[in-house]
Amino acid sequence: MPAPHNSFKARLKSGETQIGLWLGLGDPSVAELASHTGFDWLVIDGEHGPNGLRDVLAQLRAIGDRCSPVVRVRNDDRAEIKQMLDVGAQTLLVPMIETAAQAAEVVRSIRYAPRGARGVGAALARASSYNAIPDYLQTAETELCLLLQVESTKGIEALDDILQVEGVDGVFIGPADLAADMNHLGKPDAPEVQAVVNDALTRIRAAGRAAGILTSNRSLAAGYQDMGVEFLAVGSDVGVLMGGLKALRSAF
């Protein structure tokens, strides 16, 4: 019996746009609720959200197989990546990637030796259904999906080299940090920023990789979808809750 099938990874190659939602509240009940609303993928945010290892584990369990969970780790730390994989994350989003060498090391972090450097301990872990999947070690890599987040001018300058790294399934452009690095702090919708974003998304897709981005701007989201971006997040639990509550209050 092989490792569980990663439908998110499989669909990245289908030509469709998978629509996602960001989970920043770090709450399993919110994750469970969101998993019933029809989104293709949900990001469990371990970079900016209040999420530790057990928080991520709880949300993975809450989401189940109703949609595809994507775990954004804090950084490219190999030990944290190993733990997230062992608790059952199959799709990782790794932020702040700026060089091809850094990207290659992240690839090594998700692969077992001799192709990589992931520690072998899955027999104790949820990833292998607690060793109920006897050939997990041999089949895990096929079902893992690695998304790298490029969000600085240095990363944009190195994008073409990053895209040549074997083992990278997709590249996500982080518009907020990119805007800040371009001296447009808090203004990711600025025309100068969007010109760089759109060029980057086009280059990613031209290189045969999946392209992704997050925006709560519906006009921009529609444009990205028309462009064919493969994984598009269109909001967050925080934004939807705040907006809905404000709208409800204003009605009275």
List active site positions: 48
Enumerate residues 6+ apart whose C-beta is below 8 A from 96.
75, 76, 149, 151, 152, 155, 177
Cα separations in angstroms, 230 against 5, 208, 213 = 19, 11, 9
Burial 41-78 (b: 16+ CB within 10 A, else e): bbbbbbbebebeeebbbbbbebbeeebbbbbbbbebeb
Cα separations in angstroms, 246 against 30, 80, 178, 242, 252 = 18, 37, 29, 6, 10
Q: Tell me the C-alpha distance between 88 and 117, whole Å.
A: 18
Beta-strand pair 231-236/145-150: unpaired
3-state secondary structure (DSSP) of residue 55: helix
Query: Dihedral of CA 118/123/128/133: which sign?
Result: positive
Q: Report the candidate in 38, 51, 96, 46 with the shortest Cα–Cα distance to residue 73.
A: 46
